[in-house]
């Protein structure tokens, strides 16, 4: 047993004052993050005169609350040398443990990011990321990300990437990129780059906006004037030219030099460039010239979809061509925000106005992009919440059949989800303020419940949190860490890992999804309802404002009579006990539910239901 007394140096006069006492029954080990202040620690081992050592304190992961110490120098006062040697060896053992964890985590990130969607071992395990790139102080900058990875957390490193040198000059590049990117190189990590709309110069740069109609990539009106909005009927050559401009900058050349052999490079576009919608096809003279003014809506969607496939692939081809490093060219993929089907499918008849649906294809985007990151959002601009039918949990059920279709069209499609809770600090539309007016409390734990439901419903490759570029970790980190914890648990718990890889999502065929407006016939029989029946459900039928006390779903492995299920449950508005949940084609189980969510492991063979206990 060691008794540890801490002293904090007094900034005035150099005296020391006791901070607190600790009793330690085992060596303090683990992996450190950034060093904090230096402490003077007095160790009083039994039977041995006291030893004074100057140590530096490190925090072991922002999720664990454990600590390690690393000796900088030591002074013996009446003690024996073996005591000091013991302390030094403790530090060395800790460093070896840190290195092992660091390499293990990096290898896991590398392995899962490069694993095929249809691997024989099952689905790739998830990674955590953010849209906030830390270009302002106290954001989610690359140094923070590397620290988290070295502590054992499963993040996909992300960097800001701007096209123009004025927004990211060489000096900025050195400070922002070099250290972290070279650490990524040392660890063999995949990397990703977040940008605004790559095609933006086509409508905002006079070089392209001023081109004659026959060469212009924008909408050409009947009178020959140009509308600053990209068109699927515009000249395609400009798309590849602009793509190449993004990757031929001096900054991009330097990035390839600092990290010459990444296993995966993911370029992510915000993908919100104003573009011609299918209802307005007749406003582009080139469409009228080629197809006339009396085409059907189906034809409009079909030809516009093909136009976008051709142009976005040309844009990406130009970006790939601009890269100078052969490994980067080979390992780069291009992912678009919301380059996927809409979650509002069936909520009202007008959903199709925001879609490029054609018969047997809900959207063209898996053919136009290598991946998509749709928004699993509680939006601040509508009435959606995390506790009613109009919620991301319910709407994302539409994505299950769409994801199956995406993999059929593009087996390598990189599927992420972007998550947001509707937080808009100091804004009238702030969703947390709305909850407060309802007498509710919105906590990171409640956020975690919604996050995990989306994770297990869809099992995406990345869970990417949306936060504004100016938001800080001080404001948002407790919420981001819930995503990190949810991801890490999949790696660290054998039950969760097995179900993530091999589990089959179980539909609840007792009900149809309440969104039933204007459903195309070929999709009418697709499974879209995965919410399990519970003993606290409101009476059917439900509407958009129906409150759902408990959200639950399950995954299944095996066949009768030896099936196993992982049941996930969460209750946004508070804890609930002894809730009965119906596992489809099995029986009822009784569980307790928390806002942060609980996992239960159910076995048919011995009729057991056990809470999955998670570390940390």
Phi, psi torsion values for 479, nearest 5 degrees = -80, -45
pLDDT of residue 51: 33
Kindly write down the DSSP assignment for every residue of 78-140, as one continuous string. Answer: S--HHHHHHHHHHHHHHHHHHHHHHHHHHHHHHHHHTS-TT-TT-SPPPEEEES----STTS-
Name the residue among 344, 394, 381, 343 with its Cα closest to residue 546.
394
Name the residue among 34, 38, 35 with its Cα closest to residue 16.
38
Name the residue among 376, 407, 383, 327 with its Cα closest to residue 131.
376
Sorting pLDDT into bands at 50, 70 and 90, what band is 571?
very high
- Residue 244 has, within 13 A of its CA and on its CB side, a CA count of 10
pLDDT of residue 564: 98
pLDDT of residue 69: 35
Name the residue among 161, 251, 243 with its Cα closest to residue 200.
243
- Residue 400, SS3 per DSSP: helix
Which tens digits make up the pLDDT trace of 578-594? 999 999 999 999 999 99
Which tens digits make up the pLDDT trace of 433-489? 999 999 999 999 999 999 999 999 999 999 999 999 889 999 999 999 999 999 999
> Span 563-587, mean pLDDT?
98
Name the residue among 16, 66, 15 with its Cα closest to residue 41.
16
Sorting pLDDT into bands at 50, 70 and 90, what band is 615?
confident
Which tens digits make up the pLDDT trace of 159-209? 999 876 445 566 777 899 999 999 999 999 999 999 999 999 999 999 999
Which tens digits make up the pLDDT trace of 276-329? 999 999 999 999 999 999 999 999 999 999 999 999 999 999 999 999 999 999
């Amino acid at each position: 047993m060691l008794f540890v007394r801490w002293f904090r140096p007094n900034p005035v006069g150099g005296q020391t004052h006791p901070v607190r006492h600790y009793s330690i029954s085992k060596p303090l080990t683990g992996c450190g993050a950034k060093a904090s202040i230096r402490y003077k620690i007095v160790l009083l081992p039994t039977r041995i005169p006291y030893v004074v050592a100057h140590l530096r304190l490190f925090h072991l992961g922002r999720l664990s609350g454990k600590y390690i110490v690393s000796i900088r120098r030591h002074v013996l006062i009446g003690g024996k040398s073996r005591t000091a040697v013991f302390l030094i060896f403790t530090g060395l053992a800790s460093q070896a443990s840190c290195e092992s964890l660091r390499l293990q985590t990096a290898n896991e990130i590398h392995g899962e990011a490069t694993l095929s969607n249809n691997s024989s071992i099952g689905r790739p395990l998830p990674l955590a990321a953010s849209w906030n790139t830390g270009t302002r102080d106290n954001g989610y900058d690359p140094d923070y990300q590397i620290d988290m990875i070295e502590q054992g957390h499963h993040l996909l490193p992300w960097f800001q990437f701007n096209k123009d040198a004025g927004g990211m000059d060489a000096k900025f590049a050195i400070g922002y990129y070099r250290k972290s990117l070279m650490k990524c190189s040392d660890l063999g990590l995949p990397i990703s780059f977040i940008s605004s709309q790559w095609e933006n110069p086509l409508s905002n740069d006079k070089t392209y906006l001023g081109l004659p109609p026959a060469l212009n990539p924008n909408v050409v009106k009947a009178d020959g004037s140009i509308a600053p909005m990209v068109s699927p009927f515009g000249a395609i050559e400009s798309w590849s030219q602009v793509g190449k401009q993004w990757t031929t900058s001096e900054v991009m050349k330097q990035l390839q030099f600092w990290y010459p052999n990444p296993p995966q490079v993911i370029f992510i576009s915000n993908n919100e460039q104003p573009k011609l919608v299918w209802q307005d096809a007749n406003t582009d003279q080139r469409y009228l010239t080629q197809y006339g003014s009396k085409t059907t809506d189906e034809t409009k969607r079909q030809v516009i979809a093909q136009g976008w496939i051709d142009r976005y692939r040309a844009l990406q081809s130009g970006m790939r061509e601009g890269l100078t490093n052969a490994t980067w060219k080979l390992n780069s993929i291009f992912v678009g925000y919301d380059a996927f089907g809409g979650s509002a499918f069936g909520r009202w008849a007008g959903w199709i106005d925001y879609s490029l649906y054609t018969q047997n294809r809900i959207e063209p985007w898996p053919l136009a992009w290598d991946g998509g990151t749709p928004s699993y959002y509680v939006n601040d601009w509508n009435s959606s919440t995390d506790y009613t039918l109009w919620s991301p949990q319910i709407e994302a059920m539409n994505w299950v059949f769409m994801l199956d279709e995406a993999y059929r069209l593009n087996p390598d499609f990189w599927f992420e989800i972007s998550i947001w809770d509707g937080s808009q600090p100091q804004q009238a539309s702030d969703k947390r303020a709305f909850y407060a007016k309802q007498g509710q409390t919105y906590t990171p734990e409640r956020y975690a419940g919604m996050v995990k439901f989306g994770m297990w419903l869809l099992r995406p490759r990345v869970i990417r949190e949306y936060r504004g570029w100016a938001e800080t970790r001080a404001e948002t980190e407790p919420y981001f860490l819930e995503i990190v914890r949810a991801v890490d648990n999949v790696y660290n718990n054998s039950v969760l890992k097995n179900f993530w890889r091999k589990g089959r999502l179980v539909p609840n065929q007792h009900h149809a999804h309440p969104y039933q407006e204007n459903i195309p016939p070929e999709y009418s029989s697709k499974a879209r309802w995965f919410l399990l029946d519970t003993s606290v459900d409101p009476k059917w039928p439900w509407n958009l404002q129906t409150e759902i006390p408990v959200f639950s779903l399950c995954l299944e492995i095996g066949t009768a009579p030896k099936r196993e299920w992982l049941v996930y449950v969460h209750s946004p508005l508070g804890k609930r006990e002894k809730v009965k949940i119906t596992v489809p084609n099995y029986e009822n189980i009784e569980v307790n539910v928390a806002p942060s969510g609980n996992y239960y492991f159910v076995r048919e063979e011995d009729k057991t239901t056990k809470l999955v206990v998670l570390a940390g």
